[in-house]
Chains A and B, each alone.
Chain A
Amino acid sequence: MTDMPIPGTARPTPARRSSLIEVDPRTRRRNAAEKRFRTYGAVAIGIAVVALAVLLATIIRDGSGAFRQTYLSIPVTLDAERLDPKGNRDVAEMSSVLTLAYGQVLDTALDQAVSGMDLQIQGLTEDDIDGLISREASAQLRSRVLDNPELIGQTVDVNVLVNGRIDGYFKGRVTMASAERDSNISPQQLMLADALAERDLLVTRFNREFITNPDASDQRPEAAGLGVAILGSLYMMLVVLVLSVPIGVAASIYLEEFAPKNRLTDIIEVNIANLAAVPSIVFGILGLAVFINFAGLPQSAPIVGGLVLTLMTLPTIIISTRAALKAVPPSIRDAALGVGASKMQSVFHHVLPLAMPGILTGTIIGLAQALGETAPLLLIGMVAFVREFPAGPPEGLFDPASALPVQIYNWTQRSDPAFVERASGAIIILLIFLLCMNLLAIYLRRKFERRW
C-alpha cells in the first residue's frame, strides 16, 4: 500500500510504522460491525427456534390427549327379546331394531354393574349413570351385533366409549368445580367415574379410533375421528400427483428447453410467476365456478379438491422444475449435442436425470403445500359433515369426503372443548404427514444427487 514506508526513499514526514500487535481503529470498527451482525443473526435464529418450540409444545400439550381415550368395559347381556324380537337371527330383520334398543341394553348393564358396587354417592340418579356412556356407544354395539348375530342372548364383554366430558375428567379438562357449573355433567357422575376407574371398569388407553373413525356430531366428540379426512386428503393428493407432476414437468421442460424466446413465452413466464402468488381462496372460487357449476362435478368430492389443488400446485412445480433445469450446466447440453444427440435426447438422457433431485424436491414441497391448504376446499364444499367413507378409487374420488386441514378448521368451530383437543390432535397428524413428505424429499434428493 502507499502508506508503507519504502526503504531508501527520504520522506518529508516519515509514516509511523504500524504494529501488528495493536489493532488500528478502522480494523476495530470493522470487527465490531462483524460481531454485531453475527449477534443479529443468532438472535433471529433464536427467535425462530423459540417460536417453533412454543408452537410445537402447545400443539403437543393440547393435542396429545386426542390419542388417548377413556373406555368403559362391562359385561353386557344382549337381550334377545329386545334385539331380535322375531328370534330368527336374521340380519335383515334385526336391522329394523334401532340403536335406541341397544342403548337400553347398555344402560341396563351399567345400572346393574353400579348397583352391585354399593356406592354411597348422594343424589346419583339413573340418568346420571346412563349419561356416562357415549351416545355413540349404542351404535357401535349395534353394528357389532349385526356383524355377528350369534352374539344375541349371550353375555359379552364390551368396550364402549364414555361421554366426552367424563373422558375430559380423566385428562384434566373437566374438574369437579367446572362440573358444578356445567349442565352437561354433574359432580355425581364424576364421583361415579372415579369409583368405576378404581375398579378398572373405566380405562384410558391408546385411541386407535381417532385415526380410523369418521367425524362425529357436536354431541359426541369422543367418537370423532380423522378417517374420512385422511382418506379424502389421500385421494386429493393422488389426483394432484397424477395431474400436476406430468403437466408441470412437461410444461417446464418445454418452456425451459424448447420454447422460442419471444414475447408470448415472456408473458407466459410472468403469468406463471404471478399464479404462484394468487391467494388460494381465488382458486377455490375458480373451482366452484368451473368444476362444480360448469362441469357439474359433485360437491365435497376429492376429485374437485384435487383439481383445484392441482391448479394451485402447478406454478410451484413449474417454477422449481425450471430452476432445477436451469441449474444443469450448459456444458452437459453442449456435450450431448456435440456427439449428435437430438435436443430431446440431450434433455431426456442428460439434463433431466441431473435435474431430478430438484424436480422431486419441488414436487414434494408443492404437494405438502397442497396437503395443508384449507381455504379453497371450504368453497367447494369439503367442509361438509361426512360420516360415510368414500369408496375405493377411482369411484371414491367422486364420493363426498373431508380433508385434514378442513377437519381441523371444522372442529375448532365446535362448542365442546373436547373438539379443541381433537383439532390439536389432527394438527399433530397433519404435521406428521408433512414431516414424512419432507423427509422423503430429503431422502430422494440425497439418492439422486450426483456431482458433475
Chain B
Amino acid sequence: MYDTTRSEADVSQQDIKISARNVQVYYGDKHAIKDVNVEILDKTVTAFIGPSGCGKSTFLRCINRMNDTIDIARIEGEIRLDGEDVYDRRVDPVQLRAKVGMVFQKPNPFPKSIYDNVAYGPRIHGLARNKADLDGIVEKALRGAALWNEVKDRLQEPGTGLSGGQQQRLCIARAVATAPEVLLMDEPCSALDPIATGQVEELIDQLREQFSVVIVTHSMQQAARVSQKTAFFHLGNLVEYGDTNDIFTKPRDSRTEAYISGRIG
C-alpha cells in the first residue's frame, strides 16, 4: 500500500522545502534540542522518531513557531522555509502558520459545527470571496481528508460529536483548508484505534502529493509505512537522518540500531 522504495529516485530531484541549521532549543536551563541540522524535502513524508522526551515534538513545533507560546522556550539557529528564515524578526508567526499547518496529538476540533471548523481558517485568512467559494473550499478540504462522504449530510452538527478518528481527520481537513505548503503532524494517531490509524495513514500518503508532510510518531512501524525520510532523535540530538528504508534496514549509528531493535526507548 505504501511504496517507500519508489521515493529513492524522486528524492534526489526534489526541492528542499525546509532547512534547519544549528538549531538549539532551551526550556529555561534545559537544553532540549542540541545543534540540529536537517533538510526536509517538498512533497515528501518525513518521519521524526525517537524515545519519549528526545525532542522530536519540540523540533516540530519550532518549524511553525508554536514554541513562541511557551514563555521559557528559547530558540537559536535558523530554520529556512523556501530559503527564508522563519525566525527572522520581520516574520509574523501568524502568517507563517497559515503556510505551515499543524495537526496535534489529541484531536482538538473547535466546539463548533463541522462546517465552521473547516471554514475557520479560510475565513480568517480571507481565502474565500463569497459563501459559494467557502463551501467549495470546505468540501475540497473534507474530501482531501477523506471525511466528506461521512459528514456531508451533517455539516452543521458539532465537530466534537464525531468519533475520535473522524475528529482527527476533521482536524486534518481544517489544516488543509488554509492551503498550507507544509503540514506538521504531532503523533496524529496516538489517540486513535488501529482502523482510524489506517485511514489517517492512507490520508497522509495522499497528502504527500500536494505538500511536504512532517510527522512525529512513536511507532516505528508507522514511520516505516508512511514516510520516505526518517530522522532519529535521541536526547536532543539528531542522531541519524536518511531514507526510511536505509534507517530501518542498515542504520549507521549504534543508537539508531538499538532503538529500532527495541533496546532503548
A332 CB–B CB distance under 8 Å:
yes
B101 CB–A CB distance under 8 Å:
yes
Q: A338 near B71 (CB under 8 angstroms)?
A: no
* Chain B residues whose C-beta falls within 8 Å of the C-beta of A354 in the assembled complex: 111
* Chain B residues whose C-beta falls within 8 Å of the C-beta of A331 in the assembled complex: 104, 106, 108
Q: A332 near B110 (CB under 8 angstroms)?
A: yes
**Nearest chain A CB to B264 CB, angstrom units:** 29
In the bound complex, CA of A335 to CA of B178 (Å): 13
* Chain A residues whose C-beta falls within 8 Å of the C-beta of B160 in the assembled complex: 451-452
* Chain A residues whose C-beta falls within 8 Å of the C-beta of B96 in the assembled complex: 340
Interface size on B, residues (CB 8 A): 28
Interface size class of A (residues with CB under 8 A): 20 to 34
A16 CB–B CB distance under 8 Å:
no
* Chain B residues whose C-beta falls within 8 Å of the C-beta of A334 in the assembled complex: 66, 69, 102, 104, 108
Question: With A340-B97, A340-B125 given, is the CB distance from A335 to B108 under 8 Å?
Answer: yes
B residues 144-160 in Cβ contact with A at 8 Å:
160
In the bound complex, CA of A331 to CA of B105 (Å): 9
**Nearest chain A CB to B107 CB, angstrom units:** 9
Q: B178 near A337 (CB under 8 angstroms)?
A: no
Say what secondary structure dominates the interface of chain B: helix
A349 CB–B CB distance under 8 Å:
yes
Which residue in chain A gives the minimum CB-CB distance to B71?
A261
Q: A338 near B111 (CB under 8 angstroms)?
A: no
Number of A-B contacts (CB under 8 A): 69
* Chain A residues whose C-beta falls within 8 Å of the C-beta of B101 in the assembled complex: 338-340
Mark interface residues in A309-353 (1 if CB within 8 Å of B CB, else 0): 000000000000000000001011111111111100100011000
Say what secondary structure dominates the interface of chain A: helix
Q: Which single member of B69, B71, B95, B108 contacts A340 (CB below 8 Å)?
A: B95
A5 CB–B CB distance under 8 Å:
no
- B103, B124, B160 pick with most chain A CB within 10 angstroms: B124
Mark interface residues in B51-71 (1 if CB within 8 Å of A CB, else 0): 000000000000010100101
Question: With A331-B104, A334-B66 given, is the CB distance from A340 to B110 under 8 Å?
Answer: no
In the bound complex, CA of A329 to CA of B66 (Å): 16
A selection of 16 A-B contacts at a CB cut-off of 8 Å is A329-B108, A331-B104, A332-B108, A334-B104, A335-B108, A337-B97, A338-B64, A339-B97, A339-B98, A339-B121, A339-B177, A339-B178, A341-B124, A342-B94, A451-B111, A452-B160
| Beyond known contacts A332-B111, A334-B69, A345-B124: 18 more, CB 8 A cutoff | A260-B71, A261-B71, A334-B66, A334-B104, A335-B174, A338-B97, A338-B104, A338-B175, A339-B120, A339-B121, A339-B124, A339-B177, A340-B95, A340-B124, A340-B125, A341-B121, A342-B94, A349-B124
